[in-house]
Structures are given as C-alpha cells and as structure tokens.
Amino acid sequence: MERLPEFISNHLFLVSLLVSVLMLLIWNLYGSVLSGIKQIIPAELTRLINREDAIVVDVRSDAEFGNNHILGALNIPDADFQSRQQELDKHKDKPVIFYCTSGAVSAKLARTLSSQDFEKIYVLKGGLPSWQNANLPLTKER
C-alpha cells in the first residue's frame, strides 16, 4: 500500500484510463436515476397501458415503425421531435413511455420532455428488443 503513490506516478496514463472507465460504468448504471427518468420493464409498460391509459411513443424512424411497433404507439421520430412535441402536450397528466431500438435515443428525448411539466415520464429499458424478448405482441403498419 505504501508503494501505491509511486505506482500511480509511474503509470499515470493507465490510472487515468481506469478512473475514466469506472466513471463511465457508474454513469451507465446510475445515469437514468440521476437524470430523473425512470426505466421500466415490459411488464410495467403493459400495466401502465392497461391501468393508467399510458401514452407509448416510438421515436424510431417511420420505416422502422412501419416494420413493427407496440400496438397503439404514437410515432414521433427523433429527427421530428422538436417540431412535433406539442402532440404530447395534451397528455401531461398521463404516463408517457418512450422507446427506441436500444433505449439511448428515447432516454435523451425523455430528458428533454421532463423539463416541461410532464408528471410521469418513463423509458422502456432495453428498447424494443426487450419487448420482443418478453414475447409481447407487435403490430405492423399497413
């Protein structure tokens, strides 16, 4: 333990790399908690739809939405979100659940919306693949 400062000074690059990786790991694990956006699993999403009349927002592109999406989802692509955000204003008192392919884009948009007086904002943890892995139904645009 007494040689730790010597090791750090001799391997400054490796130690700083280790600290950076640890910080990114902590952000990955606790970033959603710190941002105030709750991530939910597919079973919780289903409960919110059935019991609280939740609004589900698919932020993928129109083409991806047309291939498959959660039944009843509203498609507001990431690229159009700023111009179409007012479509969600009438749902401020309902739970609003965002999902995308991985969960990263939806979390970013949910953080944007959280600063605008929405009461309950959620992100589907793992995105659409988590919904599919739970063997829950999808529908296609016709």
> Can you give the CATH number for the domain in which 80 is found?
3.40.250.10
Tokens of 2: 């007494």
The pLDDT tens digits for 116-135 are 778 789 999 989 999 999 99
In-domain check, residue 51: yes
Domain check: are 122 and 66 in the same one?
yes
Q: How far apart are CA 75 and CA 8, in angstroms?
A: 51
Q: How far apart are CA 94 and CA 113, in angstroms?
A: 13
Tell me the pTM: 0.77
pLDDT score at 65:
93
Please report, for residues 56, 76, 133, the alpha-carbon distance to residue 63 in angstroms, rounded to integers and kept in the order given. 18, 12, 21
Q: How far apart are CA 142 and CA 139, in angstroms?
A: 9
Please state the domain count of the chain. Answer: 2
From 22-36, 94-108, 114-128, the region with the lowest mean pLDDT: 22-36
pLDDT higher than 90, residue 97: yes
Average pLDDT of the segment spanning 24-47 = 81
Q: How far apart are CA 18 and CA 20, in angstroms?
A: 5
Tokens of 12: 């400054």
| DSSP structure string for 16-35 | HHHHHHHHHHHHHHHHHHHH
Just list the catalytic residues: 100
In-domain check, residue 138: no
Domain check: are 21 and 45 in the same one?
no
pLDDT score at 119:
78
pLDDT higher than 70, residue 34: no
